[in-house]
Amino acid sequence: MDAVLQALADESRRTVLEILRDHPATSGELADALPIARPGVSRHLRVLREAGLVDVRHEAQRRIYSLRPEALVEVDEWLENYRALWQNRLDALHTEIARGKRAQR
């Protein structure tokens, strides 16, 4: 999970994942979407591959990258406890808002 979190820590890598969430893309398409040089994009793609977040397949001389969402399962499970904490707080906020609306009537 540490490798996934470290990969997610970079804004450019998160941008790549957001693009790949919608559709597979070539390294050139990904490079066009980022404000960095192609060698930097290649390094980011290597980090994402090593973390298990993307797959790459070769079609002739093109590399097609796609998202591997199963790599995020462990992070999602870890975040579940925090999600529950926030949900309890949001439920309490909703209750207080409803009380305030009744008091105004």
**How far is Cα 53 from Cα 47, in angstroms, rounded to an integer?**
9
State the CATH architecture for 2-104.
Orthogonal Bundle (1.10)
Task: Quick: pLDDT tens for 48-96.
Answer: 999 999 999 999 999 999 999 999 999 999 998 888 888 888 888 888 8
Ranges of each domain in the chain? 2-104
The pTM of this model reads 0.79
